[in-house]
Each structure stands twice: as structure tokens, then as C-alpha cells.
Amino acid sequence: MAEIYEGALDKGLEGVVACSTAVSSIMDVTLCYRGYTIEDIAENSTFEETTYLLWNDKLPTKNELADFNREINTYATLDPQLVNILKTIPSKNVHPMAWLRTAVSLAAHFDNEAQDNSPEANKRKGLRLLAKMGSLVTAFENIRNDKPVINPRNEKSLAWNFLYMMTGKEPDAELVKVFDMCLILHADHELNCSAFATRVTASSLSDMYSAIVSAIGALKGPLHGGANEQVMLMLKKIGTLEKAKAFVKDALANKEKVMGFGHRVYKNGDPRAAILRKMSQLLTQRMGEPHWYEMSAMMDDVVQAEKGLLPNVDFYSATVYYSMGIPIDLYTPIFAVSRISGWVAHAFEQYANNRIYRPRGHWIGRQGLKYTSIENRK
Ligand code: ACO
């Protein structure tokens, strides 16, 4: 008879410590990247510098950062043959995250080191993925709108190039700063669902691209990265400030989830939400549509009062992106443009100290059945 596993069942692995990590930490309401608080990093760093920190466990010197930026620039342009193939895959009525999942998988075929799992090759592949993620997302935006794919400019940041490639226009410096800060805030978050997916795939010693494709699939879901676009769709559905309170009360009474609230780890607030809240207030005002922020703030108060839940990173990032004129269904792909930084850091860490993830399932099915031939089945 097969062994029936009797270990403790922890649905959703809440509270399970599945690996050691030194990439980022969450302690009560404090999020740190490699020991630096998110507030400190968001205020003083750039996304590239943050990524260097996450990958190398140290802030770069001027020269190290210049080299890192140069390498990113070298890799950011998509292979024209890859672009031609991307133009042939369906882009209309397709979720951008589904398209991105396929695009990253295709990009592996244009990387002659795809199967090389040495630390040196993995470092280069991490850089290529970091450099290309924004190029892929903006290529999607242009392809689906029957516009030419725009190449990134040399000596510009990932944030600058993303906004440039998306619109075809040189972006406003203030918006670049805001966008860069959003990329920093989303760069890593301890053992979140998609980082875990990265590590699970890497733990079989599969390649970096496969690990990242797993992560994109995990991030797509509405309980994880997909929540940011759901927040904006919800706000648009509610429409006015007057209707916001009743909407939240009805949703909670019907045991429906209000998107952008709650968190598995933060029970006393998500520090990223506090930063994004201020950005949302500023930007919605600047675009002349402060009601999006006012509705959000009102919902924040009601969910807190009624259910004791606080906003997570996705709640205020929705109105920040909306104010920047970014199409709603690109919010989650933008999360990937940032989180590639953390996923790669987790893949490095997993490969460097690996043991395959192989938990057990608590058996609740039948036992001891005897095979019945098809003629004798009812
Ligand atoms: N709206 C209403 N009620 C909620 C919400 C919410 N957003 N989140 C949790 N709850 C309630 C649950 O219904 C449950 O209530 P009950 O005890 O009365 O049954 C209780 O709070 C506990 O919630 P769980 O779903 O068990 O919490 P869990 O830790 O499993 O899930 C999660 C965390 C997925 C983030 C959840 O809060 C959620 O679904 N939020 C909405 C989606 C979202 O915003 N996701 C983004 C998370 S951040 C990120 O991944 C980038």
C-alpha cells in the first residue's frame, strides 16, 4: 500500500519558510532590499542601481554602474528576426501577459547561451532579460496598434526608454522619475508567488528562461500582479466618488474581494502603498482628474474600517499608471518589467544553493480501488 503522508497541511504555504534568502526582507511594515529600506532606495536610487544591488549584494561604484548600464543598453534592442516572429503571433484579443509569456519563451531561441547554466552565462542572460523586458512589452503595444516597433535609445535609462518606446515621443523628465520609482518599488518582494515560481523551476536545474516564463505565468493571476489592472477597472466601473462607499460595502457583504487590498504577509500595511498613495494624489491632480485619488482614498478608509484590511502595492499603482496615460492592460506587464530584477536575483540565489522543491500532498482521495474493465463499468 502506498505511503499516506501525515505531515502538517499548510494550505497556501502560509508561514512555511521554504528557503534562505538574502535578496529582500519583510519585517512587520519594513521592506528592505539587501538591508536597505525601500524608502531609502526609492528616494535615492535608480532602477538600474537597485537591480545591481539586488544581484550583487552591494551598491555599485560609479564605474560599476556605468558598465552595468552600458551592458543593459547593449542588450535592450530586440533581434529583428524575433520582432518579425512576434508580429505573426496573435496580439489582438490576447492578454498582454499571455503574449509576454510567449515572447520571453521565444526570446530564448535567440540566445545562444539559453542552455548554458553556468553562473557567468546566467548573469548575461539575467542582463538580457532585464534589458529586453520593456522592449518586449512596448513592442506588443506597437504591434497590436499596427505601429512600427521602436528601438531603445543608447545611454538612456530603462524607465526613459520604456516610455519612449511605448509612445514614440521623448518622455517628460518628471514622468520618467515617477516611472523609475515605480520600477524600484516593484523590483522584489521576498518569497512572493512569482519569485517562488522562479525558484521552483530553477530548482530542477532548468534554465533561466524557463524559470522566468514560470514567473510571468504566476504574476499574471489577479491574486498576484494581475490585481493592479483589476483595481483600475474596478474604479472605472464605480465611476464616481458618491458610489465608492456603497460599492465597497456591498462587495464586503457579498464576501467578494476588493482588488488591491489585503496581503499574505503585511498585516499592518504595505510600505510601498504609502509611497504610491502620495504619487497617486500628486499625479491625478496634475492630470486634472483628482477624483480617481479621492475615490481610492475613500475606499481605503472604508475597507479598513469594515474589514481591517490595508491597501497593497497594486492599489495606488493603478491610478499612478492611469495618470501617466498607460493602457490599463499594460499595468501587469509593467510589473514584470520591474520584477524581472527580483526574479533573476532569486534564480541566482537558487542556483547557487540548490535543492529541488518537492513538497508532499495531503491525500484526501480514495484508496485500494480495483481496476474494472470498460465493459463492466456503469
Ligand atoms: N477584499 C475583501 N476581503 C479580503 C480581501 C480583499 N481584497 N483580501 C482578503 N480578504 C479577506 C478574506 O475574504 C478572508 O476573510 P474571512 O476571514 O472573513 O474569510 C480574510 O480576509 C483572509 O484573506 P485570505 O484570502 O485568506 O488571505 P490570503 O493571505 O490567502 O490572500 C491576498 C492574500 C491574495 C493578497 C488577498 O488579500 C487578496 O485576494 N487580495 C485581493 C487581490 C490583490 O490585491 N492581490 C495583490 C496582492 S499584492 C501582490 O501580489 C503584488
Give residue 109's identity as a one-letter amino acid code: H
Q: Are 303 and 252 in contact (CB under 8 A)?
A: yes
Beta bridge partners of 261: 311
CA 243 and chain centroid, separation: 30
Nearest protein CA to atom 46 of ligand 1, as residue: 224
- Residues with a catalytic annotation lie at 263, 314
Nearest protein CA to atom 47 of ligand 1, as residue: 224
Residue ranges of the chain with per-residue pLDDT less than 50: 1
Answer yes or no: is the C-beta of 316 below 6 A from any ligand 1 atom.
Answer: no
Q: Tell me the C-alpha to C-alpha distance, in Å, between residue 92 and each of 132, 163, 334.
A: 22, 21, 18
Nearest protein CA to atom 1 of ligand 1, as residue: 257
Answer yes or no: is the C-beta of 293 below 6 A from any ligand 1 atom.
Answer: no
CA gap 296, 318 in Å, rounded: 10
Q: Assign a CATH topology to domain 18-221+330-352.
A: Citrate Synthase; domain 1 (1.10.580)
| Centroid of ligand 1 to alpha carbon of 259 (angstroms) | 8
Closest ligand 1 atom to the C-alpha of 255?
Answer: 13
Quote the pLDDT of residue 10.
Answer: 87
Quote the pLDDT of residue 6.
Answer: 67
Quote the pLDDT of residue 245.
Answer: 95
Nearest protein CA to atom 15 of ligand 1, as residue: 255
**Terminal C-alpha separation, the chain:** 26
Answer yes or no: is the C-beta of 276 below 6 A from any ligand 1 atom.
Answer: no
Provide the CB-side half-sphere exposure for 206 (13 A, CA). 17
Quote the pLDDT of residue 1.
Answer: 45
Give residue 44's identity as a one-letter amino acid code: N
Answer yes or no: is the C-beta of 229 below 6 A from any ligand 1 atom.
Answer: no
Q: Report H helices in the chain.
A: 38-44, 47-56, 62-76, 80-88, 96-108, 119-144, 158-167, 173-185, 193-203, 208-219, 227-238, 241-253, 271-286, 291-307, 313-323, 331-352
Is 1.10.230.10 the CATH number for 227-323? Answer: yes
Edge-to-edge order in the sheet of strand 30-33: 24-27, 30-33, 36-37
CA gap 123, 25 in Å, rounded: 23
Q: Are 258 and 295 in contact (CB under 8 A)?
A: no
Quote the pLDDT of residue 4.
Answer: 62
Q: Which residues contact 74 (CB under 8 A, 6 or more apart)?
A: 131
| Domain coordinates in residue numbering, the chain | 18-221+330-352, 227-323
CA gap 345, 213 in Å, rounded: 15
